[in-house]
Amino acid sequence: MEAVRKIVETEAQAKRIIEDAKLRAQEILESASAESQRVRQTAISGADQDKARILKEAREKAEADARSSDEETNALLENYKNLFENRKEVAVKKAVELILGG
């Protein structure tokens, strides 16, 4: 009788060991799930930050290039103004001669 009781107790102890292990396994999987989520969050958040930086830099670079184009155009227009002042009389004379057909 004592032996049977002892076996029952041992079986119960064994069952607890396995149940504890299952609980621990569950914790490990939950922790892994949380770790996966964190890894994903970190990667995506980093990529989103990089994206924002890339777009900002692209806009700034393009705006700088656009300003450079504006400056080139302003210089060109200034040059046209000078050319007009210096060559207007010759252009008028040539055009009049062309119309008169001499």
Partner 1 sequence: MEKLHNRILSDAKLKAADVIREAEEKARQSVEESRVQAQKDADEILSKANLEAESIRRGILSSRIRANRLRVLDEKNKIVQSVLKSVEQRLSDIASTDQFQPALKRFVAEAVDAVGADDIVVRVGFQNAERKSLDSLGRTLPTRTRFVVEDKSIDDLGGVVAGDVGGKMIFNNSFRARIERLDNQLLTTISSTIFGE
Binding residues (CB under 8 A) for partner 1: these are 3, 6-7, 10-11, 13-15, 17-18, 20-22, 24-26, 28-29, 31-33, 35-37, 39-40, 42-44, 46-48, 50-51, 54-55, 57-59, 61-63, 65-66, 69-70, 72-73, 76-77, 80, 83-84, 87-88, 90-92, 94-96, 98-102
Phi first, then psi: what are they for 93, rounded to 5°? Answer: -60, -45
In whole angstroms, how large is the CA radius of gyration of the chain? 43
The least distance separating partner 1 from the CB of residue 72, rounded to whole angstroms, comes to 8
Measured distance CA(89)–CA(85) in Å, rounded: 8
Measured at the CA of 29, the angle between CA 43 and CA 45, to 5 degrees, comes to 10
How near is the Cβ of 48 to partner 1 at its closest, in Å? 7
